[in-house]
Amino acid sequence: MILKLLTPLSFTYSKVMELREFLYERGILKRVEVRPFVISVGNLSMGGSGKTTLVRYIAQTLKDFKVCIVSRGYKRKGRGLEIVSLWGEVLKPLELSGDEPYLLAKLLRGVSVIVCEDKAFALKFSQCLGCEVVLIDDGFQFLKVKKDLEVLLLRKRDLKERVFPAGLLREGLGAIRRASVLVLPYQELESERFEMDLKKPVFKMYRRDFRLLNYDLKEVSLKSKEVYAFSALGDNQQFKRTLERLGFKVLKFYSFYDHYHYKGFKPQRDKIYVTTLKDLFKVGRYENVLALDFKVEVPGFEEFLRERLLKC
């Protein structure tokens, strides 16, 4: 019954998004153009798809360029533009940065991270920093800026999903044509072949060499794989499945909504907890709270990126 009520709203929302795209394509709504090479990383679904992981991978891959990451800084305190990090030096606390920009700032040496609700203004500002490459985190629906490369993360479940509010898609599947290249995430978990001809360059993203890190990002090992686990992601079940696949016995799993603040959350001293790096920084420093980290492989994607950069 609820689905029947929401379907007309989804149709209207989808048409509004299509009209918006049409207006930008025809030049009725003007796009901002900036000097740096602009790479947008985004998705179709409101659920987790590995955007931050891929942004981190691209920034590390292009370490011989001056890379700047632009993000909205969702659920941060305050408004306006903030320089979270400048060429690897973290300048702002998590509260003023947002959890994902702060995570990227902590992990990426030699990279600058900027947050601003006005991404177009942030991209213009990035020119003042001397950036050569700008990565827009969660930029697929952001049409106001001319992009040199539109990277779309696509999961198999997206192909069967409905448009918001009846489903989790931000826009219809027809928007795939706007992408320059597709990346299929979590292929160590989701290896099924797609049942449609995507007609785009397609790369597969794998997570390898998993390890546990403490708050200081130092690798640690556990005597036992019996753990308690928690996360606040767009797709918490993906994190739980990953732990189980790695042989952890998850005694209890705590699932929180994306960008959860963890106020009042106190880990029990006699238990070992495993979470994500993003959540580790939000919870704070505890000896018995560790984060699962990994290396990323996207076979052939680095060569593709560099070829596109050389053409500009």
- Per-residue pLDDT band for 192 (boundaries 50, 70, 90) equals low
Cα separation, 55 vs 39, whole angstroms? 9
- Report the 10 Å Cβ neighbour count for 226: 12
Cα separation, 222 vs 212, whole angstroms? 9
Q: Which pLDDT value is given to residue 195?
A: 63
Q: What are phi and psi of 91, to 5 degrees?
A: -110, -20
pTM value is 0.93
- Mean pLDDT within 215-241: 93
Q: Are 140 and 43 in contact (CB under 8 A)?
A: yes
Q: Which pLDDT value is given to residue 4?
A: 67
- Per-residue pLDDT band for 7 (boundaries 50, 70, 90) equals confident
- Report the 10 Å Cβ neighbour count for 71: 27
- What whole-number percentage of the chain has pLDDT above 70? 97
Cα angle 215, 218, 224; round to 5: 85
